[in-house]
Amino acid sequence: MKTGDFFRIVAESTCEVITTITGAIVVLQEATRIGIDIVSPHEITACIRLSGEFSGAIGVGFDPDLARDLVARIAGGEGRRLSRNDILDGVGEIVNQISGRVRTVLSLSRHQVNIDLPLMSDGGKYVESHLCDKPHHTLIFECLDRRFRVQFCLVESD
């Protein structure tokens, strides 16, 4: 499988999942390949490790206001009061669903991939710790007039 295929699968999965569960329109703005992380200390992040035929990770990073707005939509309404733990759980659910869709698409092509439970954090620590040992790709999306990122590293296992 080529890198372009992974880009497409992760980008389409991100747009489909967030639009489906929040009703918000998501648009891919840019894509880059980088080997180091630039993480805002205020970001809310979640990451899931992948194993099997492909190994690596998929992570998301949201500005706290965008995370709150998206999770409020998932929970049933804008303006709803959410605790920090509610927001972290919601961001974990978003990355879980994106990773699950990626796994489903890969399995339809007869590729075996397993996903772990999501790890969530304030400050981007989990995304950074799971992706920094391998070159990874960053997709920048726009949603609700704000940007967020999805980072991934998928390599064929030996």
pLDDT of 50 over the 60 cut: yes
Tally of structural domains, the chain: 1
pLDDT digits over 51-65, tens only? 888 888 888 999 999
CA distance 46 to 62: 9
Range of the structural domain that residue 47 is part of: 3-156
pLDDT digits over 17-31, tens only? 999 999 999 999 988
pLDDT digits over 120-152, tens only? 887 655 555 555 466 778 899 999 999 999 988
CB contact at 8 A, 31 and 14: no
pLDDT at 124: 55
**Torsion angle, CA of 65/70/72/74, rounded to 10 degrees?**
-170
* CATH for 85: 3.40.1550.10
pLDDT of 5 over the 90 cut: no
